[in-house]
Chains A and B, each alone.
Chain A
Amino acid sequence: MPDKIKILYIDDEPDNLVGFKASLRLQYHIFTAVNIPQALSVLDNHPDIAVVFCDQRMPGKTGVEFFEEIRISHPKPVRILLTAYTDVESIINAINRGNIFRYVRKPWLETDIISAIDEAHKFYLANSALNTKNEELQRAYNELNKFAYSVSHDIRGPLSGILGAINIAREIDDVEEMREMLFLMEKSLKKLDTYILSMHDYYSLQRGELKIGEVDFLALFDELRPLYDVLAKTNHVDFKVDIQQEEIFRSDAVPLKLIFNNLLSNAFKYQDKKRAHKAVTVEIVVKKSIATINISDTGIGILGTHIGEIFNLFYRANSQEVGSGFGLYNVKTALLKLNGQIEVNSVMNQGTTFKVTIPSI
């Protein structure tokens, strides 16, 4: 059963409050207040109150004045004025200043109240949905701005570099020098390519629907492993994978692979080149419908002051030019879709461990 609609009624006559509550408490969750300070504290403590009824004649403040105030401080609840007065002046004020939704005459009839609540609640729901949409839209706009900004750097940057290189290639005769430049050009192009692939991941994560199926981590790693085995061999990194799964785990393999690929490529990318023994370790334990994944490296580590920001879009905590600023943001988005969590533990010049927990769906 859905939760009862929450309603606040403010009246300085306790008898009215008791009567209101007595006749409506079965259908609705009723809060009452005998004065305005009490009403404000109820609104503060229960931000999900959908409808507020207020008597017009109150000591100190009128109902209209109260509504005028909460219109700003608590804009979400729908406002309904209860009054025995029917003079045009107060009705106009209630509408214009208090921006009320309905006006119910005292003494009230239960059917009037119920129909007012139903209408007000529909209005409340529509407004809440609109607010949520607006927030989503605002977030999307903010990301679009970040994108527009990053395009000039992350796409135009490598391109202008390559154009510059072509420009000077005309004046280079030395083959060695040319090779060096070709190597750097290739690096720039690979970076651009990674950026575009990550952008594709970003988009599919934002728009794609989940496809839930049984996930066998051993089989998943058979698929992922060859690529990292090559990396481990060429960079002299000790790469270990330990998987313990004795139960069925249900999830979407696509975002899971994305998480593994990003965390693993980071673990290899940010190794300390001077270190004699380099290692990347993956431990996966599936127990009680939860997969706990630890990915550890012996890399350069992340400075404490950057840890809070590494999951932000386009944030790069390293001055090496290898990062696109997409990877961990995509990991975070993928985990959000899978209801998962991530924790980071990092010691400078020692290494970093990402701990991921994902529930079976």
Chain B
Amino acid sequence: MSFIIVDDSELDCFIAKKIIGHTDRSIHVDTFQIASEALDFIKTEIPARTDENKTVLLLDLQMPLMNGFQFVEEFEKMPSDIQQKVLVVILSSTRNSNDILRIFTYKSVHSLMEKPLTNEKLITLIRQASANPLA
């Protein structure tokens, strides 16, 4: 299984990576502090992936230059075979109801998780990703 983490905070990237590593050493993790770089990575790397599960994308909302919403808008412009291989999960500290309502207007967003990422949250997430194997 693979994870992609997009978060401008270095500490949050570190935490997510560590928690994933402690939970399941076999999970591959790529972290990005700049959202646009993660988009490029998805475009070039995802088509070649042959994992049986979707790649889980943990996406922060409030980031400078390109925020989570803009990221999702760009992601939804990608070919559908790429989109199908990615499970988009918002990982944010936001309590703003406008943000929360808005994020679910995007059809590619699977769910929203509140920061910080914990062991329990991660286990739920892995279960969800395994429950939707790629055909």
Query: Residues of A with Cβ closer than 8 Å to B?
Result: 149, 152-153, 156-158, 160-165, 167-168, 171-172, 177, 180-181, 184-185, 187-188, 316-319, 321, 323
- The residue in B11, B12, B33, B116 that gathers the most chain A C-beta atoms within 10 A of its C-beta is B11
Partner of A153 from B93, B116, B117, B119 at Cβ < 8 Å: B93
Given the known inter-chain contacts A153-B94, A319-B65, A321-B8, please indicate yes or no for A164 contacting B15, CB distance below 8 A: yes
Q: Which 10 A-B pairs have the closest CB atoms?
A: A164-B116, A316-B64, A164-B15, A160-B115, A184-B11, A161-B11, A153-B62, A156-B93, A319-B34, A160-B116
Closest chain A residue, CB of each to CB of B115? A160
12 residue pairs of the A-B complex, CB under 8 angstroms, read A152-B93, A157-B115, A164-B118, A165-B116, A168-B15, A168-B18, A184-B10, A187-B11, A319-B64, A319-B65, A321-B9, A321-B33
B22 CB–A CB distance under 8 Å: yes
Query: Residues of B with Cβ closer than 8 Å to A?
Result: 8-12, 14-15, 18-19, 22, 33-35, 62-65, 93-96, 114-119
Closest chain A residue, CB of each to CB of B118? A167
Distance between Cα atoms of A281 and B118 in the complex (Å) = 47
- With a cutoff of 8 Å between Cβ atoms, the chain B residues found around residue A162 in the complex are 11
- With a cutoff of 8 Å between Cβ atoms, the chain A residues found around residue B96 in the complex are 149, 152
Distance between Cα atoms of A177 and B117 in the complex (Å) = 18
- With a cutoff of 8 Å between Cβ atoms, the chain A residues found around residue B11 in the complex are 158, 161-162, 164-165, 181, 184-185, 187-188
Distance between Cα atoms of A171 and B62 in the complex (Å) = 29
- Nearest Cβ on chain A to B63's Cβ, whole angstroms: 7
- The residue in B63, B95, B116 that gathers the most chain A C-beta atoms within 10 A of its C-beta is B116
Closest chain B residue, CB of each to CB of A315? B64
Contact B116 A319 (CB under 8 A): no
Distance between Cα atoms of A319 and B6 in the complex (Å) = 12
Distance between Cα atoms of A323 and B65 in the complex (Å) = 12
Distance between Cα atoms of A319 and B33 in the complex (Å) = 8
- With a cutoff of 8 Å between Cβ atoms, the chain A residues found around residue B116 in the complex are 160-161, 163-165, 167
- With a cutoff of 8 Å between Cβ atoms, the chain A residues found around residue B93 in the complex are 152-153, 156-157, 160
- With a cutoff of 8 Å between Cβ atoms, the chain B residues found around residue A152 in the complex are 93-96
Contact A161 B115 (CB under 8 A): yes
**Further contacts, 4 of them, CB under 8 A, given A187-B10, A319-B34, A319-B65:** A158-B9, A162-B11, A167-B19, A321-B10
Partner of A157 from B9, B15, B22, B119 at Cβ < 8 Å: B9
- With a cutoff of 8 Å between Cβ atoms, the chain B residues found around residue A160 in the complex are 12, 93, 114-116
Contact A180 B14 (CB under 8 A): yes
- Nearest Cβ on chain A to B41's Cβ, whole angstroms: 15
Distance between Cα atoms of A167 and B19 in the complex (Å) = 9
Distance between Cα atoms of A321 and B11 in the complex (Å) = 10
Distance between Cα atoms of A152 and B64 in the complex (Å) = 15
Closest chain B residue, CB of each to CB of A172? B18
Distance between Cα atoms of A184 and B12 in the complex (Å) = 9
Contact A168 B22 (CB under 8 A): yes
Distance between Cα atoms of A361 and B53 in the complex (Å) = 68
- The residue in B14, B35, B96 that gathers the most chain A C-beta atoms within 10 A of its C-beta is B14
